[in-house]
Copies of this chain bind each other. A is one copy, B any other.
Amino acid sequence: MNIIPVILSGGSGTRLWPVSRPERPKQLLPLTSDETMLQLTVGRTRGYAGATLSNPIVVANAAHSSIIDEQLQMSGVDDYLLILEPIGRNTAPAIALAAFEANPSDLMLVMPSDHIIAKLPAFHEAITSALPLVEQGWLVTFGITPDAPETGYGYIQMGKACGNGVNEVARFVEKPDSENAARMLSEGSHVWNAGIFLFRADAYLRALERHQPEMLNATKQSLERSIRSGKHLFPDRDAFAQCPSDSVDYAILEREGLAACVPVDMGWSDVGSWDSLHSVSLQDPSGNAVRGDNLLIGASNCLVHSDGPRVTLVDVDDLIVVVAQGDVMILKRGESQKVRIVTEKLKKIP
């Protein structure tokens, strides 16, 4: 058995503004360590002993090619394939591009590039649990055992067991309201959808043929007319632009009979907000998490993230302070979803 790490770097989120911006989104930034989220993701399969590992395939926005090359090489990853999308078409087509580049019997371990997983042994065990079904052609997703009624994540409702530590996927649930989130948490049998998948390349392409033939054709054509240059693969823009845009969860897994879920508790977070970053970061005894030059006097439960300027805090509590690229943002901890309001307001300023 051979696993290809397939890393999806399509995001351009602005939820971590002013650090994360379209030209350098979250996955290309060092947020939780000196390594960027992408670099951490590339390192996530190191030491996995349950299968052989091939060179990774990274699927990314063409605008980020040189940053990604630089970051992979800094991580000591010299051999990889970088598929550079001319346009974003969500995850199902991105994975299809990678599947065509894999051998049919290769296992594709699909990972978003902008999440963190604190407990790698648990992740590796979950992969091992998935292998028997994956070998039989199942499409497997890894679901995070929830510990709070999160409304910021999608959920997966699991059905009956179909293997050791593996359950059938009953359905995918979009981000719920708090009432439904609480209900799912108390019912059990629901896990967070982390967007991490494992399947054989041929199984994915067959599922694509069954459920999304138009997607299969468009991605195939965009590769037939693609340009290759060293480690870079440029799918044809016109063909790829014809491709329907949808996520692998909804376009494929939800329609697929052989879809399974491995529930796992592995210290996962999508670091989807500054509050989330604060909670997953190393904190001092006063609850402060800091990156960058700083001086804290009588501060507690603050997140400080600076790309240069020194930040001094005196007698303040529960603040998120982000200094990046000529912007200083200060917001109350617990309110970081309001970054969206900020970016929307700033768009309107000429």
Contact = CB atoms under 8 A, between A and B. Distances in A.
Interface string A282-325: 00000000000001010000000010111111111001010100
Contacts of A328: 306, 309-312, 321, 323, 328
A330 B327 contact: no
Contacts of A335: 314-315
A206 to B, nearest CB: 48
Contacts of A346: 295
A214 B22 CA distance: 69
Interface residues of A, number: 31
B295 A314 contact: no
Interface stretch (A63-71, A78-86, A153-161, A337-345): A337-345
A349 to B, nearest CB: 8
B309 A345 contact: no
A18 B326 CA distance: 17
A311 B328 CA distance: 5
A210 interface: no
Given A295-B342, A338-B297, A345-B297, A314 B330 contact: yes
B345 A330 contact: no
A329 interface: yes
Main secondary structure of the interface of A (DSSP, over half): strand
Nearest to A18: B312
A341 B315 CA distance: 12
A140 B335 CA distance: 56
A119 interface: no
B315 A338 contact: yes
A313 B297 contact: no
A327 B321 CA distance: 13
A331 B321 CA distance: 12
Contacts of A341: 297, 314
**Which of A295, A310, A314, A315 has the most chain B CB within a 10 Å cutoff?**
A314
A255 interface: no
Contacts of A18: 312
A314 B332 contact: yes
A145 to B, nearest CB: 32
Interface in A183-212: none
B329 A312 contact: yes
Contact of A316 (B311, B319, B339): B319
Given A315-B332, A323-B328, 15 more contacts: A295-B345, A297-B341, A297-B342, A308-B326, A310-B327, A311-B329, A312-B329, A312-B342, A314-B329, A314-B335, A314-B338, A314-B342, A316-B330, A321-B328, A321-B330
